[in-house]
Structure 1
Amino acid sequence: MSSAAPRRPRPVVLCILDGWGWRDETADNAIAQADTPNWDRFLKTYPHALLHTSGLQVGLPDGQMGNSEVGHMNLGAGRVVMQ
């Protein structure tokens, strides 16, 4: 039998930046060209993930761009909701 106290869960933050996208290219990429010291530090320091927000991944036809409503419905459902 272990005498160690149970581990307390660590907090988790779900931060949705509506309107921010991800693209490796920096040309014509305002976010990549902007001075974002806090955002840069968050990406270097904390675990993070990217979500697919278009096409089949959010219940839209292949290649169709998503929008806020589609993204929020899928996040809340925990599964792909066909549109």
Structure 2
Amino acid sequence: MALMITDECINCDVCEPECPNNAIYQGDEIYEIDPNKCTECVGHFDEPQCQQVCPVDCIPLDPDHAETQEQLMDKFVKLTGKG
């Protein structure tokens, strides 16, 4: 699954620079994650970096974008050209 940022976000700015896919961006009110770019850091790291640095724990899995590990790896390959 892609990740999402909930309305508990405090706009602390720590998640956005940690995303290796540039999937996190400033939305109208809080940071948001582009599900087409989010691989949960599959291919880059063992765990999602945004979740690791978030001080308020507001980055859960997005139930509207269910993906397997294989699908996340395929997305990583498409986004980076690595594989």
Query: TM-score, normalized by length of structure 2?
Result: 0.27
Which of these two proteins has the greater Rg computed from alpha carbons?
1
Instruction: Specify which structure has the bigger relative contact order, considering alpha-carbon pairs within 8 angstroms and separated by 6 or more residues.
Output: 2
The structure with more helix, counted as a fraction of residues: 1
The structure with more strand, counted as a fraction of residues: 2
Query: TM-score, normalized by length of structure 1?
Result: 0.27
